[in-house]
Structure 1
C-alpha cells in the first residue's frame, strides 16, 4: 500500500464575510494511500464539511495543491472538474440523495449515463453493484419502498458503480438507527478489505473507529489520532 491516491499539500480555504476574511482550513496536509480507510473526525464548525467539499471537487482551495490519482486537480475548469468527479469519486451522503421516482436500479445506473456507457452494459453493472450490497431482490423498488439502511445501500451501490478511486462518505450513518448504522459500517469494512479506498467524514468517535486511520480536524487544522 504505497502509492498515494489523494494528496493535499498546504491547503488553505478562506471566505469573505462582509469585509472580514475568515480562514476555515489552515495549512492542511493529507496523504491517503490506495486501499486506506481514513476517518476524518471533527465537531460541527471544525472545517470538515469544507474539507470534504474540496476533496470531492465541489469547492476549490484558496491556496495549496491537490493531486488525485497522481494528477493535479487544483486548477481545472468546471467541466474538467465534473469529469474527474464522476470518474474518480463515489459520493455517499447522510440523506442518501436518491431520486424518489426512480427504482433502486435506475438510481444506481445514473452516474454511468454521463460516461456514455451503453444501456445494456450500464444495467448489468448496476445490477452487479446492487447484488454486492445485498439488494438483489430489491432492484425494482423505489426509495419509499425501502428502509433507511436499504436506501443507504443503494447510495453505496451508486457510489461504487463507476469504479471510483475513492469513496467519499459524509456522515453515512447519521440518518440511521444504531443497529442499521453498524450494518452499514460492516459493509464499509468489507469494501475496505476488498481494497477500496474510503474517506469518511464524521463527528462520532465510535463511527470513526471503523476506519484504519483517524484524522482529527479542529479549527481548520488536521492532526493524526493514534488508535490504541
Structure 2
C-alpha cells in the first residue's frame, strides 16, 4: 500500500552555540516517511523532538546532514521556495491551536488559503467543506472564545487540511486537551490516516503515540524505532 517515499532525513545533526560551548541537539538522525504513513515521534522534554519538528517543517535548517522532501533537497532551496512549502505542502497543527481570536472559525480556516492565493469564493467553499469534515458545520461563525478546546483544535486541523498538504505535522496536538477530548481528536487523526493522509505527530505522551501506525522514540538527540502494539 505504502511505497512512495516523501521524506528522507540522512544523518541530520543540529548544533546550537550556547555561549562559548556547542550543544548537539540532534546527533545523526535517519528517518524515512512514506506517503500515507501515520508516524509518531515520542520523546520527553529536552529530547530534541521540537528541533526535529522545526527541521521537518522547514522552519529551521540542520547543521549537517541531508533533508529531502518530495524529491527536493531542502538545503538547495531559497527562502521563497521554503515559504511555499510551509504554506502549501505542510499543514501545521499546534498544541496551542494558534487561532486568531478576532476571526470566526471559517475565517481562521480561510487564512491558510489566502496565503496560498486561493480566490475568495473558492476559499469560502473550501473552508466550509473542511469544517464539515471535522464535524464543525454548526460552528462556522463562532469565534475561538465561543468554542471548547477540542473544537478549537478541530478548527486548527481544518485550517491545516485546507491547502491539501503533503504532510500534516502535529506538535503535541492533544497537549492542551483533557483525556476524553484528546481521544476524540486522535480518532479524527485515525480517520484522516485511513483516508490516505500522511501524518507526523510529535508527542511526549506514550498512550497518544501508540495511536499512530508507526512509532519512533527520540532520546538525547538519537532516534530509535519502536513496535506499535495493537490495543
Normalising by the smaller structure, the TM-score range is over 0.9
Shift of 1:111: 1.0
**2 CA distance for matches of 1:183 and 1:59?**
31
SS in structure 2 of the partner of residue 176 of structure 1: coil
1 CA distance for matches of 2:140 and 2:164? Answer: 19
Say whether 1:152 aligns with 2:164.
no
Q: What SS does the aligned partner of 2:197 have?
A: coil
Distance 1:74 1:96 in 2: 29
Task: Tell me the equivalent position of 1:62.
Answer: 63
Structure 1 partner of 2:170: 169
CA RMSD of aligned residues (A): 0.7
Give CA deviations for 1:138-172 in whole Å, capped at 9, x if unaligned.
00000000000000000000000000000000000
User: 2-side partners of 1:91 and 1:115: how far apart?
Assistant: 14
In 2, Cα distance between equivalents of 1:144 and 1:10: 43
Alignment of 1:185-224 (within 5 A): 185-224=186-225
1:106 paired residue number: 107
SS at match of 1:153: helix
Runs (5+) with no aligned partner, structure 1: none
- Map Cα deviations across residues 61-92 of structure 1 (whole Å, 9 max, x no partner): 00111111121112322222111111110000
1:129 equivalent in structure 2: 130
> Aligned residue for 1:138?
139
TM superposition shift of 1:99 = 0.1
Q: Residues 29-53 of structure 1: CA distance to partner in whole angstroms, max 9, x if unpaired?
A: 1000000000000000000000000
SS of the equivalent of 1:28 reads strand
For residue 186 of structure 1, give the secondary structure of its aligned residue in structure 2: helix
* SS, match of residue 152 in structure 1: helix
Aligned counterpart, 1:10? 11
Partners of 1:192 and 1:11 in 2: how far apart? 27
Runs of 4+ in 1 over 3 A off after TM superposition: none
TM-score (norm 2): 0.97
Q: Distance in 2 between matches of 1:73 and 1:196?
A: 22
How many Å separate the matches in 1 of 2:134 and 2:188? 7
Q: Which moved more, 1:39-48 or 1:81-90?
A: 81-90
Q: Please give the TM-score of this superposition, normalised by the length of structure 1.
A: 0.98
In structure 1, the residue matched to 2:40 is 39
User: 1:226 deviation in Å?
Assistant: 1.6
- In the aligned structure 1, how far is the partner of 2:173 from the partner of 2:179? 12
Residue 72 of structure 2 is matched in structure 1 by: 71
